[in-house]
């Protein structure tokens, strides 16, 4: 028996500086699941609440003011407060998504591109040296990612709004290219910009872990779940937006695996 959609639960973290939790929860609720917004302090106090969830979401924003690096303090709070519970969550084959600031936190936490291994990737300041707020086109690369199965092979449009979205790899030029090729061949490059938006290595916009269950991306799918959210007024329709399919892909994974 597969799990009923109404029994699927997502936990969406909020806290100082996070500002996209409401939209992210709404995107999950549009899929007919139970989405709960939880403050990071409450999750630190009650880490067992992870056990009842199937999805953990780290939304966008500027957690703790990005004072020592985007997502760094959030990552440290998670690591030193409930890392053991998070490892169990991941080992139970549950889903994790980090959007923008949440992606930065997942990388600094060491969950991407390979969970709990030595870090070989980070996100740094855009080539432009300033914050970017615009809609971009993205290639949805064939990959292992459980979050993009409903979009695979498509070119989609999503908004970005970040100052530190440039993906870089550790090491010299040859080492960086080898790291990229390994990720690509492993099916871990899930999204790439159609053009150079921020200087990100090979235009990478989103990556998953080797299982496809942990996904980090700089664009904001929760801000594109409906055509009404797209910039062109004349094209507004009642149809779903591309972002909706990222959430629907995840729910279908849950229905098939729990």
Q: What is the mean pLDDT of the chain?
A: 94
- Active site residues per annotation: 100, 220, 222
Count of CB atoms situated within 10 Å of the CB of 222:
31
Is 80 exceeded by the pLDDT of residue 16? yes
Q: How far is Cα 248 from Cα 47, in angstroms, rounded to an integer? A: 26
Assigned CATH for 5-257: 3.40.50.880
Per-residue pLDDT at 234: 62
DSSP state of 241: P
234: number of Cβ within 10 Å: 4
Mean pLDDT of the 18-47 span: 97
pLDDT in tens, 52-98: 999 999 999 988 776 777 888 899 999 999 999 999 999 999 999 99
Residue 235 confidence class, pLDDT cut points 50, 70, 90: low
CA gap 47, 13 in Å, rounded: 12
The pLDDT of residue 232 is: 77
């Amino acid at each position: 028996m597969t799990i009923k959609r109404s029994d699927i639960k997502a936990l969406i973290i909020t806290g100082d500086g996070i500002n996209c939790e409401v939209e992210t929860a709404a995107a999950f609720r549009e899929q007919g699941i139970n989405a709960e917004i939880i403050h990071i302090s409450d999750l630190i106090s009650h880490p067992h609440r992870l056990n009842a969830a199937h999805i953990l979401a780290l939304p966008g924003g500027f957690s703790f003011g990005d004072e020592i690096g985007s997502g760094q303090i959030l990552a440290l709070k998670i690591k030193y407060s409930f890392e053991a519970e998070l490892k169990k969550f991941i080992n139970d084959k549950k889903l994790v998504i980090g959007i923008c600031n949440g992606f930065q936190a997942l990388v600094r936490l060491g969950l991407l591109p390979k969970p709990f291994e030595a870090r070989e990737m980070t996100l740094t300041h855009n080539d432009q040296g300033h914050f970017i707020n615009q809609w971009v086109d993205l290639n949805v690369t064939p990959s292992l990612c459980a979050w993009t199965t409903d979009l695979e092979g498509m070119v989609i449009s999503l908004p970005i709004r970040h100052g530190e979205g440039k993906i870089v790899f550790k090491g010299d030029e040859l080492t960086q290219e080898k790291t990229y090729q390994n990720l690509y061949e492993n099916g871990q490059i899930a999204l790439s910009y159609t053009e150079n938006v921020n200087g990100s290595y090979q235009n990478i916009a989103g990556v998953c872990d080797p299982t496809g269950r942990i996904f980090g991306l700089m664009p904001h799918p929760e801000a594109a779940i409906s055509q009404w959210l797209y910039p062109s007024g004349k094209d507004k329709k009642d149809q779903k937006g591309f972002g909706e399919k990222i959430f629907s892909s995840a729910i279908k994974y849950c229905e098939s695996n729990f």
